[in-house]
Amino acid sequence: MTSFDPVSAALGGLLIGAGALLLMLFSGRIAGISGIFADALEPHQTGRGWRIAFIVGLIAAPLVVAVTGRAVPAPDMPAWAVVIAGGLLVGFGTRLGSGCTSGHGVCGIARLSPRSLAATATFMVTAAVVVAVSRHVLGGQ
Amino acid sequence: MAMIIAALGSGLVFGIGLVISGMTQPSKVLGFLDVFGHWDPTLAIVMAGALVVVAPGFALLRGRDTSILGVTLDWPSRRTIDRSLIGGAVLFGIGWGLVGLCPGPALANLAGLSPKVFGFVVAMAIGARAQDALRRIRGSQPQSA
């Protein structure tokens, strides 16, 4: 478990916001990663190029951070079965619900969209219940 | 070409924010979601930091018709809170709570070459494609946030 670092959290948050604002300012698009990702997978989607470029930027980010000498820790992942089940649910759920933490949680709440406020409250509470059950009821840790 | 470079730069800044904030580390995200354990407020600070930039920024852009590159600003227009929105958010929340990764951090972790991160992203792609195929079968319109 990494230690709590509010300065890095705030700085990182400002940069996430700056990235989302830049995408609207230059490309006229909402930075909803689940939508950008799914539409980038669609072979005949128009505007596939900018979506792939945005994803390449995301993928390159830790390399840029590492170059500045900052440590980039390897992600701690659960067992394979949980990884695959979680990935399927995140992919399916974000498409059905039209967004994820970025599209609803940041861009949607910034616009005070009732849909995004409802979606964000729903996925936050659901995820907290899943963590409470897996950690404290089933006693995973 | 300008669209490509702008999107690349936006993704890069967004991704650097994810990495610096600690949101690419599943244990940080799960620490926030674990309200009955040693609660970690990091995610709330990250979201607040992002909103401090995006909320006034979007409010200012609302007065414009087009982006700097001349593209029409594509604001989401749907208003109804329906079963798809809530059902999708529940399924996403279950997956997020199980692993501690949402789409942005999953993609920003790919360069670490972890087989499990690749597995998560492939599963995410399959899940998204399955939902898109299901929607096409049912003949409903594509949605936006």
Q: Is A45 on the interface with B (CB under 8 A)?
A: no
Residues of chain B in contact with residue A26, where contact means CB-CB under 8 angstroms, are 2-3, 6-7, 9-10, 67-69
| pLDDT tens digit sequence for A69-97 | 898 989 999 999 999 999 999 999 999 99
Q: Compare B143 and A126 and report the one with higher pLDDT.
A: A126
CA–centroid distance for B43 within its chain:
13
Gap from B142 CA to chain A (nearest CA, Å): 9
Gap from A94 CA to chain B (nearest CA, Å): 6
Gap from B137 CA to chain A (nearest CA, Å): 14
From A70, which residue of chain B is nearest by alpha-carbon distance? B20
Residues of chain A in contact with residue B38, where contact means CB-CB under 8 angstroms, are 1
Q: Is B66 helix (H, G, I), strand (E, B) or coil?
A: strand
Q: Is A32 on the interface with B (CB under 8 A)?
A: yes
Which pLDDT score, from 0 to 100, does residue A46 have?
A: 87
pLDDT of B142 > 90? The answer is: no
- Do A100 and B103 lie within an 8 Å CB cutoff? yes
pLDDT of A112 > 60? The answer is: yes
> How many contacts (CB atoms, under 8 Å) link A and B?
497
Mean pLDDT lowest among B29-33, B44-48, B77-81, B115-119:
B77-81
Phi, psi of A63 (to 5 degrees): -70, -40
Rounded to whole angstroms, the Cα distance separating A91 from B73 reads: 26
Residues of chain A in contact with residue B109, where contact means CB-CB under 8 angstroms, are 62, 75
Residues 6+ apart with CB under 8 A from A35: A94, A98, A99, A103, B144, B145
Q: What is the pTM of this model?
A: 0.95
Residue pair A20/A102 in contact by the 8 Å Cβ criterion: yes
Average pLDDT, rounded, for chain A: 95
Q: What average pLDDT does range A101-123 have in this prediction?
A: 97
Residues of chain B in contact with residue A4, where contact means CB-CB under 8 angstroms, are 40-42
pLDDT of A1 > 70? The answer is: no
Which pLDDT score, from 0 to 100, does residue A31 have?
A: 97
Q: How confident is the model at residue B144 (pLDDT cuts 50, 70, 90)?
A: low
- Do B36 and A136 lie within an 8 Å CB cutoff? yes
Rounded to whole angstroms, the Cα distance separating B57 from B127 reads: 33
> For residue B137, with 0-12 CB atoms within 10 Å meaning exposed, 13-18 middle and 19 or more buried, which class applies?
exposed
Number of H helices, E strands in chain B: 6, 0
Which pLDDT score, from 0 to 100, does residue A86 have?
A: 98
| pLDDT tens digit sequence for B95-128 | 999 999 999 999 999 999 999 999 999 999 999 9
Instruction: For residue A22, give the nearest of B10, B36, B91 by CB distance.
Output: B10
Q: How confident is the model at residue A16 (pLDDT cuts 50, 70, 90)?
A: very high
Residue pair B99/A108 in contact by the 8 Å Cβ criterion: no
pLDDT of A128 > 70? The answer is: yes
Rounded to whole angstroms, the Cα distance separating B55 from A33 reads: 18
| pLDDT tens digit sequence for B76-97 | 999 999 999 999 999 999 999 9
From A22, which residue of chain B is nearest by alpha-carbon distance? B10
- Do B108 and A58 lie within an 8 Å CB cutoff? yes
Average pLDDT, rounded, for chain B: 95
Q: How confident is the model at residue A3 (pLDDT cuts 50, 70, 90)?
A: confident
Which pLDDT score, from 0 to 100, does residue B143 have?
A: 55
Residues of chain B in contact with residue A120, where contact means CB-CB under 8 angstroms, are 89
Q: Is A51 on the interface with B (CB under 8 A)?
A: yes
